[in-house]
Structure 1
Amino acid sequence: MSTAAPAKKRPTNPKVPQDILEKAFRLMATSKAMTDIYEANFKFVSKYVHATSRGHEAIQLAAGLQLLPTDYAYLYYRDESILLGMGLRPYELMLQLMAKREDPFSGGRSYYCHPSLRRPDMPKIPHQSSATGMQVIPATGSALGFWYK
């Protein structure tokens, strides 16, 4: 006879609508599938060194789904899931990975997941350096500028 307490069902957060939870799950699965494809075929599909958002999908999607077209996003090189959450399609991300002219971020001239974006219907992503952490300085300057305004 077991003395362990019966497993409790986790309550779902009533503040997060079911359709948003389902969208986040689909995007997580998409991100994982993209990572699996990249890692299995990296010698053939990548023109640049790249790192995926593996392990960061949940928090990145939570952030990406909250961003508005009036927001600014200062991303780093593993923020692929935020881009999916913002509404970019896997095809668009693959164009950058393969350094294609149709790449929506830089026309194939920037490393993978070093986006810059000025679409009117999406958050603005200023151009960034390839050095790790270099998004912090311009992000801080922008935040101070908005604060002073």
Structure 2
Amino acid sequence: MSSIYDFTATSLAGDDVPLKRFEGQVLLIVNTASACGFTPQYKGLEALQQTLAPRGFSVLGFPCNQFGSQEPGDAPQIEQFCSINYGVTFPMFAKIDVNGNAAHPLYQYLKNAKSGLLGSSIKWNFTKFLVDRSGKVVARHAPTTKPEGLVKEIEGLL
């Protein structure tokens, strides 16, 4: 696989979504959780979506229950939580694994493209991968990096 556009992910509604649909956009791909100390970052992620989407940007959210079982809900529960609590409008996908043998192929690709400070494994929820318009993974940010702290870096790619 040569870019993220070669992958398909399942939406919360159960539909297969070719990531080629996002070709030409700058993307922030994030593994999310509804019961995490970083969950309030949904607010910042949605603010990025609202502000920068007209310029060719999108957040892609991938719920994951691998860290402290902090995403126990099913797809309808996740969708309802994100909508009611944070007004999320960016694409959210079905719950996936980001580490281990069952890791989603997209996350295998992302981790190989940009290793983290402590190796390639995802260490916690809300790890963020920034992808340029050509589909190249250009940065990886720790869960502690707030979405609003990425504005200048994202704008530099737009």
CA radius of gyration, larger in = 1
Q: By percentage of residues, which structure has more helix?
A: 1
Q: Which has the higher contact order (CA 8 A, sep 6+)?
A: 2
Q: What band does the TM-score fall into relative to the shorter chain?
A: 0.3 to 0.5
Q: By percentage of residues, which structure has more strand?
A: 2
